[in-house]
């Protein structure tokens, strides 16, 4: 067996690169199997059973039905170090009809792995396979989290509730990204994704004849004032360096062209990056809605649901990923992402329990039209699987070596 003291990071890196290359055909097979059999959020029964089977065959301690349909695989180290490093991947697909012409395209009508979670699951399994081969030199445990229901931003919460973060000192995650070329990764210090909250408003006016507005309270007009005031108030009362996006995506109300509407329901999503801004959003929105409604005599009800906070990457762990990827692939393959995204990721719920980082894995083919995530023709360059596995495995090994 290899001796921890005598082995250098460089020879270990070569070893895991070779292991990952040997595993590549098997990993492509796994990815295609998962891709062909996608399951919606919270219904990942077959995927979970498949993942659990592969983890067990690598000798990991496996727990199923964690966080409803999630799977946890624990790779036991020597136990000298009590820290546990968690590696999180997600397993769910989207309600999209696949339009690719791939041999392994979805066999389930209306359901597709259009966000690359098939690739994430495969990379999680590949990393477990590689690290299982060098388990004798791991001082502590590595916990592989295969999470359900990321697309509805619920799975991470279910997993955390079931205790998967117990004893976890740090957590790593990744997401495929079609605008980064295959072979490269993107890291970002600080905010990676936005906080996403749900907003629902009921505006209650008073019905009346369409010809006599002065005898009614027009809920549609007041709803329009509320929307306009909120959008303008973002620009005039909020720090422009701390962005907010408020999108009302649904509006319902009214019964007939000549009847003034007495009730309107609005619902939308609210995105923000700065934790302080996020904290103050419900009160700020409530104040504006209240003042508009009071001015025109309407009543209102507001439901504000904080869905997920912003992913704030830990500087030390981000640096470790950056160094690991630079050693593995060279400096020109590691992009420092200049901007965060206003998309959301429930990975942030793990970060409320322990520091960690999420990086972006390039899957785009240079010179090709690379469809965006959630597109019915979304596809990846499968050589990204090895890039993901080696980057995660090498980061994990450096984590233990550098303390």
- Residues whose CB falls within 8 Å of the CB of residue 390, separated by 6 or more in sequence, listed in order: 13, 16, 17, 20, 130, 328
Closer of 112 and 132 to Ni ion (Cβ): 112
Least gap, CB of 288 to Ni ion (angstroms): 32
Site for Ni ion in 230-259 (CB under 5 A): none
Least gap, CB of 115 to Ni ion (angstroms): 3
Site for Ni ion in 103-162 (CB under 5 A): 115
Least gap, CB of 147 to Ni ion (angstroms): 11
Closer of 153 and 281 to Ni ion (Cβ): 153
Shortest-Cβ-distance residue relative to Ni ion? 115
User: Rounded to an integer, what distance in angstroms lies between the CA atom of residue 37 and that of residue 108?
Assistant: 7
Least gap, CB of 272 to Ni ion (angstroms): 20
Q: What is the DSSP string of 65-101?
A: EETTTEEEEEE---SSS--EEEEEEE--BBS------
Closer of 174 and 230 to Ni ion (Cβ): 174
Closer of 151 and 327 to Ni ion (Cβ): 151
In the chain, what is the straight-line distance between the N-terminal and C-terminal CA atoms, in Å?
A: 22
Least gap, CB of 169 to Ni ion (angstroms): 25
- Residues whose CB falls within 8 Å of the CB of residue 227, separated by 6 or more in sequence, listed in order: 248, 266
Least gap, CB of 94 to Ni ion (angstroms): 9
Site for Ni ion in 316-335 (CB under 5 A): none
User: Rounded to an integer, what distance in angstroms lies between the CA atom of residue 83 and that of residue 400?
Assistant: 9
Closer of 27 and 115 to Ni ion (Cβ): 115
Least gap, CB of 250 to Ni ion (angstroms): 23
What is the SS3 assignment for 153? coil
Least gap, CB of 328 to Ni ion (angstroms): 24
Structure tokens at 145: 């989290």
Closer of 115 and 123 to Ni ion (Cβ): 115
Dihedral (Cα; 11, 16, 22, 25), 10-degree rounding: -150
Burial of 254 (0-12, 13-18, 19+ CB in 10 A): middle
Closer of 72 and 94 to Ni ion (Cβ): 94
Site for Ni ion in 27-56 (CB under 5 A): none
Does the protein bind Ni ion through residue 389 (CB under 5 A)?
A: no
Closer of 48 and 115 to Ni ion (Cβ): 115
Closer of 260 and 361 to Ni ion (Cβ): 361
Asked whether the beta carbons of 324 and 398 are under 8 A apart, the reply is: yes
Least gap, CB of 177 to Ni ion (angstroms): 10
Residue 158: enclosing H or E segment and its boundaries?
Answer: helix 155-161
How many residues appear in the chain?
403
User: Rounded to an integer, what distance in angstroms lies between the CA atom of residue 348 and that of residue 197?
Assistant: 13
Closer of 115 and 159 to Ni ion (Cβ): 115
Least gap, CB of 150 to Ni ion (angstroms): 6
Chain mean position to CA 393: 20
User: Rounded to an integer, what distance in angstroms lies between the CA atom of residue 367 and that of residue 348?
Assistant: 34
Total residues in contact with Ni ion, by rule CB under 5 A: 1
Task: Give the residue among 223, 196, 194 at the shortest CA–CA distance from 302.
Answer: 223
Provide the 10 A C-beta neighbour count for residue 330.
Answer: 11
Query: Given the rule CB under 5 A, which residues bind Ni ion?
Result: 115
């Amino acid at each position: 067996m290899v001796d921890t003291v005598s082995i250098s990071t460089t020879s270990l890196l070569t070893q895991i690169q070779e292991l990952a290359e040997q595993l590549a055909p098997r990993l492509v097979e796994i990815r295609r199997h998962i891709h062909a059999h996608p399951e919606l959020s919270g219904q990942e029964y077959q995927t979970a059973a498949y993942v659990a089977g592969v983890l067990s065959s690598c000798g990991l301690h496996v727990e199923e039905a964690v966080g409803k349909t999630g799977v946890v695989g624990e790779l036991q180290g020597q136990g000298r170090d009590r820290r546990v490093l968690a590696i999180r991947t997600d397993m769910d697909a989207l309600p999209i009809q696949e339009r690719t012409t791939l041999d392994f395209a979805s066999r389930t009508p209306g359901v597709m792995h259009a966000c690359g979670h098939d690739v994430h699951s495969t990379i999680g399994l590949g990393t477990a396979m590689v690290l299982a081969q060098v388990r004798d030199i791991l001082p502590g445990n590595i916990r592989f989290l295969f999470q359900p229901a990321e697309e509805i931003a619920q799975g991470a919460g279910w997993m955390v509730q079931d205790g998967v973060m117990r004893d976890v000192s740090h957590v790593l995650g990744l997401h495929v990204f079609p605008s980064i070329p295959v072979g490269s990764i993107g890291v970002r210090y600080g905010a990676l994704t936005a906080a996403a909250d749900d907003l629902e408003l009921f505006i209650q006016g008073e019905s009346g004849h369409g010809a006599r507005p002065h005898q009614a309270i027009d809920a549609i007009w007041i709803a329009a004032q509320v929307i306009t005031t909120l959008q303008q108030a973002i620009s005039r009362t909020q720090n422009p360096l701390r962005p907010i996006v408020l999108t009302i995506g649904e509006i319902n109300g009214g019964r007939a062209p000549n009847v003034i509407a007495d009730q309107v329901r609005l619902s939308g999503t609210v995105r923000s990056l700065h934790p302080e801004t996020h904290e103050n959003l419900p009160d700020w929105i409530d104040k504006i809605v209240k003042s508009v409604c009071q001015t025109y005599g309407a009543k209102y009800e507001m439901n504000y649901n904080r869905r997920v906070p912003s992913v704030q990457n830990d500087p030390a762990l981000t640096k470790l990923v950056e160094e690991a990827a630079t050693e593995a692939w060279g400096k020109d393959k590691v992009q420092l992402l200049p901007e965060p995204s206003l998309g959301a990721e429930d990975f942030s719920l793990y970060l409320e329990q322990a520091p960690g980082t999420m990086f972006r894995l390039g899957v785009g083919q240079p010179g090709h039209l690379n469809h965006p995530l959630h597109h019915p023709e979304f596809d990846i360059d499968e050589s990204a699987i090895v890039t993901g596995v080696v980057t995660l495995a090498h980061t994990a090994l450096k984590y233990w070596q550098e303390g």
